[in-house]
Amino acid sequence: MIPIELDINGQTIEMEVVPDLTLLDLLRAVGVVSVKKGCGEGDCGACGVLLDGVYVKSCLILAAQASGHSVETVESLGNVEHPHPLQTAFVDAGAVQCGFCIPSMLLAAKSLIEDHPEPTVEQIREGLDGNLCRCTGYVKQIEAVQTAAAVMKEEDHD
Amino acid sequence: MTNTFSQVGTNVRKVDGMALATGGSLFVADLAPENALCGMILTSPHAHARIVRMDISKAEALDGVFAVLYHGNVPRILHTTAGQGFPEPSPYDTAMFDNKVRYVGDRVAAVAAETPEIAARALSLIEVEYEILEPVFDPVKALQPGAPIIHDEPDAHVVIPVPYDKDRNLAAFVETSVGDVDGTLARCDIVVSGTYTTQYAQHCPIEPHITLCELDPYGRVRITSSTQVPWHVRRIVAQCCEIPVRRIRVVKPRIGGGFGAKQEVLIEDVCTMLCLRSGQPVLMEYSRKDEFVSSRTRHPSVCTTTLGFSKDGKIQAIRMHMVLNTGAYGSHALTVGSNCGSKVLPMYPCEHIEFKMEGAYTNLPVGGAYRGYGATQAVFSVECLIDEVAAKLGRDPLELRVQNHIRSGMGSPIFKALGEGTEGVEMTIGSCGLPECISLGAEAIEWKKPRTSSGRKARGVGMAILMQGSSIPHVDMGAATIKLNEDGSFNLLMGATDLGTGSDTVLSQIAAEEIGVDTAMMIPLSSDTDVTPFDVGAYASSTTYLSGGAVKKAALLIRHQILEVAAEMLRCEQDKLSIEDGRILGGAKVITISDVALHSLYSHNQKQIMASASHITEKSPPPFAAHFVDVEVDLDTGFVKLLKYVSAVDCGTTIHPKLAEGQTEGATMNGISFALTEEYLFNEKGRMLNPSFGHYKIFTTADMPEMVTIMVPTYETTGPYGAKSVSEISINGALPAISNAIFNACGVRMMHGPFTPERVARALREKS
């Protein structure tokens, strides 16, 4: 067993884990269920988290590797009463169908907007390339990222 | 048509949207208790083998193992995994576990253990001795005399009177003809024919199959499952586990996509049996590899179609011979097969039509329901051949389609001839927006604009027209219950199964519209077999049209009850009153629905305002679509780049425009991905070589073309507020439209999907 200490959405977690436990399985085990398992092989992108602010796939990272770092998931973005502009934009654009891929995609979108505050369609396509969605055809998600980016820019100015 | 509705036709917020976007605990895996055992299945490494000996004792003895199942210790109940109405049109050819395996990935045994690691270890301790049998992988060869017989057990059978001959690997058969096809083809000026094939493909819901089974203190089993067919799950699990339906409660939480894969009772029977044997909660989930190999697929097809035309460009005869590869089990073989005819042949009305379909067993993964359901496979040949005819006649393929396609007021003998295991239903087309779909789509793609090819990049455009259905007439049934609460809100209890499509929202809009309140006043709950009324489930493009009909009927009853109480409260005639935005108008004073609720629950002559209604349909009105694509073919590499894709769709009234567009965009993208990249690769022993997203490519944002979606409004008088279906149709267009565009660009005809660079480059080489 390996002792680890990490920050999940602002809360410090200390525990002992088996060496091959993935960050994905750790997060789900401690109740962070927004992080989804769609393949466990790093292909589908449903398990994305922000590790020290960088978007990564949590099924490809061992929990022990994440020790000493901070993990942000969609739970930290907003809630039903106070959603993040990305969440509002996704829902209102019709970008959420089954919703299974959405929490991770929102984090990928957040990360890409940090890099490109006014993202072009091409930049969004590149930024969301690792997030498979079988429901939507991605059209409304690209639209939603643009809408959210504009709102976030506005909020920054306020 | 202008929208005269207050709720229908508006983009209300999807009722579950924000809960999903904030990562709520909503899916099966999120709901599992900490002490749930892990259920895991041992699958066959062989394509065709008899199990001559099995020893589970070491697995059973392993610490942390609670139950081990195999053919020696479970009842042998032949059934179908197809989640269809009872009695099912699919053959009873599947046992929970059998002493024979019929494809690589077939079930051999299952365990329930404390952890996934122990479960995997237990599976590895199960000793299985196989007698390897000769496999057959080609559906055409499987039907020939002398082929290995896959279902040689004596007891496989069909439960409705349809042809079934397991002794020649024939899982399903349909034949119908009208007029004189031979004679007519002999007299036709133009006859074109071709054999088109489609490949294995998987639905790829991002959430794989998953089921949680728990025993409650009353000894009942609660099955929380990612399913499109909760009631069929309850019935088939009862059948397989030999327990009464009353001992089972099926609950559908949010579903991470289905697309037909979850119209299958795939793991619920095993999971329930593990739960009953262990007495513990059991969570069973498919890995991505399981989802590819052991779940369900789109039936691969070999379709030979002949079209006969007179020189004035009028279609005279169609002949289609479809061979479907149903894999090791006949799930949906008959009905996917008959839909190959019924969802395609009526598109070009003529008097001489022949249709024959053979569904062949092979030792490969199992076919099933997949969005498009046969239309995808069959329309490929027809829509490519229409372009071939146009080329021979020197006509614009668009105009040839306009000259021949079905229109409002027309029928087809095929509607009556081809049902779903029974005779079909005669039908005249009501709403048909196909002319507008074609003209608006052509405008968006700039159909007439000449494309200039330069160097190794050849440009071309192609199109295809499509139809589907809306529910299965006289077979499917949906029901809903609505009850009023004190604050003027309503519980909307529906059998209808929202699997991520947004049907909870759409059906809430329909109820709200009918009652006269805002959609926010509806509290939808879908698919809990203990709580909501029955529905056959989310399939056959039925939810809006069929279940929407039930919701609308129940809502009408509620409106009458509200007005009855209001009339009593206001001491006036009921017919003077109306409901608008939650207020009762027309009386001496304005009262609210909440006032009515409080009065009816607490004041006088008390009663619960509530109503239930069921709905079946008399017809299955087709939605229509025209798809257009602009491509650039690299003549050196064979890479086909889509520059723009236009989907113009007539689904009647769009109850929720954004959700309808989303259905269209999602289906279109899945169709494009199927046409260009998706396929199963097998080795010579029938093992799938690419069961991962890393090797089975589905489209991402980086691959997508510019997408244009056009919703063409029509009004289908038999549908709720004029609605027809939208979910399936747009998956069918890409295969023929892209083939036609490639032909237009560089003169090669792609007849076998997917159009990978390798295949296109080979075709280009063969042409030169």
Mean pLDDT of B192-220: 98
From the list B215, B269, B275, the residue with the least C-alpha distance to B237 is: B269
For chains A and B, CB pairs below 8 A equal 184
- Using a CB-CB cut-off of 8 Å, the residues of chain B touching A42 are 694
Q: Which CATH number fits domain B142-202+296-429: 3.30.365.10, 1.10.630.10, 3.40.50.2300, 3.30.70.20?
A: 3.30.365.10
Tokens of B333: 């073989």
Task: With CB atoms and an 8 Å threshold, state whether A40 touches B23.
Answer: no
Domains, chain A: 2-74 (3.10.20.30), 85-157 (1.10.150.120)
B525 touches chain A (CB under 8 A): no
Residue B633 scores a pLDDT above 90: yes
Q: Looking at the complex, report in whole angstroms how far the Cα of residue A30 sits from the nearest Cα belonging to chain B.
A: 10
Residue A128 scores a pLDDT above 80: yes
Q: Which residue of A has its CA nearest to B31?
A: A33
Q: Looking at the complex, report in whole angstroms how far the Cα of residue A131 sits from the nearest Cα belonging to chain B.
A: 7
Mean pLDDT of B105-115: 98
Task: With CB atoms and an 8 Å threshold, state whether B692 touches A39.
Answer: yes
Task: With CB atoms and an 8 Å threshold, state whether B288 touches A34.
Answer: no
The C-alpha atoms of residue B334 and residue B340 are separated, in whole angstroms, by 10
Task: With CB atoms and an 8 Å threshold, state whether B11 touches A90.
Answer: no
The C-alpha atoms of residue B583 and residue B302 are separated, in whole angstroms, by 59
- Scan for tokens 């041992």, then name that residue: B42
Task: With CB atoms and an 8 Å threshold, state whether A136 touches B16.
Answer: no
Task: With CB atoms and an 8 Å threshold, state whether A134 touches B499.
Answer: no
CA B665 to chain CA mean position, Å: 16
- Strand, coil or helix: B468: coil
Parallel/antiparallel/unpaired status of strands B170-178 and B127-132: unpaired
The C-alpha atoms of residue B682 and residue B673 are separated, in whole angstroms, by 19
pLDDT band at B419 (very low <50, low <70, confident <90, very high): confident
- Using a CB-CB cut-off of 8 Å, the residues of chain A touching B700 are 128-132, 138
pLDDT band at B21 (very low <50, low <70, confident <90, very high): very high
Q: Which residue of B has its CA nearest to A36?
A: B207
How many C-beta neighbours within 10 Å does residue B268 have? 32
- Under 8 Å CB-to-CB from B252, ≥6 apart: which residues? B224, B225, B226, B227, B230, B497, B526, B527, B528
The backbone torsions φ and ψ at residue A26, rounded to the nearest 5 degrees and listed phi first, read -60, -50
- Under 8 Å CB-to-CB from B343, ≥6 apart: which residues? B373, B374, B375, B378, B379, B467, B468, B469, B622
- Using a CB-CB cut-off of 8 Å, the residues of chain B touching A43 are 288, 692-694
The CATH class given to the B32-133+212-287 domain equals alpha beta
What is the per-residue pLDDT for B1? 45
Please tell me what DSSP assigns to residue B528.
Answer: B
Cα end-to-end distance, chain A, whole Å:
49
pLDDT band at B3 (very low <50, low <70, confident <90, very high): low
Evaluate whether B239 touches B264 at the Cβ level (below 8 Å).
Answer: no
ipTM: 0.98
Residues 652..681 of B with a Cβ closer than 8 Å to A: which? 658-659, 661-662, 664-670
Give B496-516 pLDDT, tens digit per residue.
999 999 999 999 999 999 999
Residue B469, CA distances (Å) to B408, B513, B540 in order: 15, 25, 7
Evaluate whether A38 touches A44 at the Cβ level (below 8 Å).
Answer: yes
Domain B17-25+476-615 coded CATH 3.40.50.620: no
The C-alpha atoms of residue B18 and residue B254 are separated, in whole angstroms, by 13
Q: In this prediction, what percent of chain B has a pLDDT beyond 90?
A: 98
Residues 139..168 of B with a Cβ closer than 8 Å to A: which? none
A138 closest CB neighbour out of B25, B664, B701: B701
How would you class B64 by CB atoms within 10 Å of its CB: exposed for 0-12, middle for 13-18, buried for 19 or more?
A: middle
Domain B430-468+621-768 coded CATH 3.40.50.300: no
Tokens of A66: 């994440």
Q: In this prediction, what percent of chain A has a pLDDT beyond 70?
A: 99
Cis link prior to B691 (omega < 30° from 0)? Answer: no
Q: Looking at the complex, report in whole angstroms how far the Cα of residue B525 sits from the nearest Cα belonging to chain A.
A: 16
**Which site among A80, A97, A112, A141 would you substitute to test the B interface, given the most B Cβ atoms closer than 10 Å to its Cβ?**
A97
Tokens of B620: 């299955």
3-state SS string for B480-503: EEEEECCCCCEEEEECCCCCCCCH
B30 touches chain A (CB under 8 A): yes
The C-alpha atoms of residue B668 and residue B158 are separated, in whole angstroms, by 35
Give B310-329 pLDDT, tens digit per residue.
999 999 999 999 999 999 99
Q: Looking at the complex, report in whole angstroms how far the Cα of residue B123 sits from the nearest Cα belonging to chain A.
A: 20
| Matching fold, domains B17-25+476-615 and B430-468+621-768 | yes
Quote the pTM value: 0.98
Please list, residue by residue across B674-699, b when 16 or more beta carbons sit within 10 angstroms of its beta carbon and e when fewer do.
Answer: bbbbbbbebeeebbbeebbbeebbbb
Task: With CB atoms and an 8 Å threshold, state whether B658 touches A140.
Answer: yes
- Helices B434-445, B397-404: axis angle to 10 degrees equals 170
From the list B398, B400, B405, B402, the residue with the least C-alpha distance to B448 is: B398
What is the per-residue pLDDT for A157? 77
In chain B, where the domains are located: 17-25+476-615, 32-133+212-287, 142-202+296-429, 430-468+621-768
Mean pLDDT of B400-429: 93
The C-alpha atoms of residue B54 and residue B138 are separated, in whole angstroms, by 30
Mean pLDDT of B76-92: 97
